[in-house]
Amino acid sequence: MRIAGPSQPFAATGRRDQWWMAPAFTLIGLITFFGYLTLRAFNPKYVWSEPYISPAVAPPVFTSATAFPGGVPVDHAWFGSFPSWWPSCVPQTPALILPALAIAFRATCYYYRGAYYKAAGMTPPSCAVRGISRRYRGETTLLLFQNLHRYTLYGALVLLVSLWWEGLSAFFLHGRFGVGVGSMIMVINAALLTGYTFGCHSWRHLIGGRYDCFSCDGRVGATYRAWSLSSWLNARHMAFAWCSLVWVAFTDLYIYLVASGAIRDLNTWG
């Protein structure tokens, strides 16, 4: 394949396929779903309909009983109401504390980096296509923050445990077991996020990728199996990234519609 040289104009390429479709759809998807979740993070109305809680605000470290209609009740937040020292210029939304870690985790994800470098940065927009003319500097200067990914992973693991807890708790209303459409949606959300998190490159490295040999030090058993599973998920990381992102937004939307009374949740509680 002929590669576009540095003197050629933007988007010059010898490719004859529809190379622009992937970055275009990626850009539309990123703007749509990250935009929706950002709006919900700053305006989290109707995020609670017992026993359901939106992943946009879960886990709630603090909550405000009055800042937004349909907010998380004070007794469901880890530390109750927002403290008096909370700056008045910052919205009292639970999304700005732990759930924000999920944004940091995704924003620094190796897959998403490649996606938004191509789709939004056009550096270049696709393989063998001339990008916006600028000198390539790699992930230096401001982009050094991408190195935080291995640390945001730990926050994502805490979030995952919390989302499984919330998902399984959604099968109990006032201590009574039951099944609702919302319960199923929340558990699928936790499962997809599990697939996304355990296919993470940093996780794969952490649990086995850093070893040169699995049999040299007696680690063949559980470590190798965990690494193999992570490798399987890693090969499907893009699919899990999109499915989990879409499902987080869908879960939030469903709970919004139920909490606001726009639709009725089908469940066994009656």
The site for ligand FES (CB under 6 A) is made up of 109-111, 149, 200-202, 237
Question: Residue 173 in 3-state DSSP?
Answer: strand
Residues 70 and 109: beta-carbon distance below 8 Å: no
Residue from 198, 182, 177, 183 nearest 244 by CA: 198
Tokens read off for 44: 């989290």
Nearer to ligand FES, 109 or 249 (CB): 109
Residue from 136, 137, 138, 118 nearest 128 by CA: 118
Nearer to ligand FES, 201 or 219 (CB): 201
Cα 23 to its chain centre, rounded Å, is 19
For residue 109, the minimal CB distance to ligand FES (Å) is 3
For residue 136, the minimal CB distance to ligand FES (Å) is 21
Residues 105 and 155: beta-carbon distance below 8 Å: yes
Helix 21-42 and helix 99-107: axis angle, to 10°? Answer: 160
Nearer to ligand FES, 27 or 148 (CB): 148
The count of other CB atoms within 10 Å of the CB of residue 14 is 10
Nearer to ligand FES, 44 or 99 (CB): 99
Q: Distance between CA atoms of 254 and 238, rounded to whole angstroms? A: 24
For residue 108, the minimal CB distance to ligand FES (Å) is 8
Nearer to ligand FES, 67 or 191 (CB): 191
For residue 162, the minimal CB distance to ligand FES (Å) is 17
For residue 247, the minimal CB distance to ligand FES (Å) is 15
Amino acid at 176: R
For residue 15, the minimal CB distance to ligand FES (Å) is 27
Nearer to ligand FES, 68 or 247 (CB): 247
Q: Distance between CA atoms of 111 and 117, rounded to whole angstroms? A: 10
